[in-house]
Each structure stands twice: as structure tokens, then as C-alpha cells.
Amino acid sequence: MRRETFIALTAGIIFGAGLALGGMTDPARVRGFLDLFGAWDPTLAFVMGGAVLVMAFAWALQRRMLRPFFTDSFALPDRSDLTPRLIGGSALFGIGWGIAGLCPGPGFAALAIEPVSAAIFIAAMLFGMLVVRIVEGAA
């Protein structure tokens, strides 16, 4: 197995385990976080806060590094990456996340916990990706 594949697989396993341990594979928990005026569940805020802390540490570490560990240079986004396509896709992502209570990471992790409902979500997500490819190919 190539080093890059092993690193990506390890990162994915850690990410999925963190989602499962944090309860983020439970759509009711995500919808509870979005229900600000009902039975609000702050759990997701703590998970996101933990992610922000880890990312803040990573950005601070990156500034001190001359180059990444496993490639030749950093590939960092800038403001030119903010395109209407990205913003529109982000809005659709958020709408789908709010409706289903899942996004791709937790959706795949949920396959191990609730395979039927997660499989429906994954199938709908893949169908949506196919539709985008068809529409963009026709444009």
C-alpha cells in the first residue's frame, strides 16, 4: 500500500471513529442542534469547537513548517477559491444536512450503525452528485 493511501485511510478511520464517538452519526442529534427554539442539543457545538481547536493548532504548526511531512509543498486555499459554484454547493450541502441530519462523513460512518437509513442517504447523495455531473456536462 502506498504511503499516501495509508495516511488517507488512517485519517478517514480516525475521522469516522471521532464522528461515531461524538454521536454525530445520529441524525436526531444534528437536527436537535439546528432546533434553536425547541429542544436544542448543544453536543454538536462542542464537537465543532473541538475541531476548531485542533485546526487552530494545525494552522499555527503549519506556519512554522518549511514544508509538509508527506509532500513537497502546501496547497492552501485563498479568496480566489470562493466561487459562486462553491457558495451554491455549500448552501445545498447545508440544506441537505439540515433535512437529513447527516453529511457525507457521518453518513458513511452511520453505515456501520444504522445501515438502512444511512444507505438511503448515501444513495440520495450519490444520485445528487450524478445529477450535477450531468447538468454541468450539458452546460
pLDDT tens readout for residues 85-137: 889 888 988 888 888 888 888 888 888 888 898 899 899 989 988 988 898 88
Q: Any idea where the domains of the chain sit in the sequence?
A: 3-138
The 3-class secondary structure across the chain, one letter per residue, is CCHHHHHHHHHHHHHHHHHHHCCCCCHHHHHHHHCCCCCCCCHHHHHHHHHHHHHHHHHHHHHHCCCCCCCCCCCCCCHHHCCHHHHHHHHHHHHHHHHHCCCHHHHHHHCCCCHHHHHHHHHHHHHHHHHHHHHHHHC
34-81 residue pLDDT tens? 888 888 888 888 888 988 999 999 989 999 998 888 788 888 888 888
- The pLDDT-based confidence of 17 (bands split at 50, 70, 90) is confident
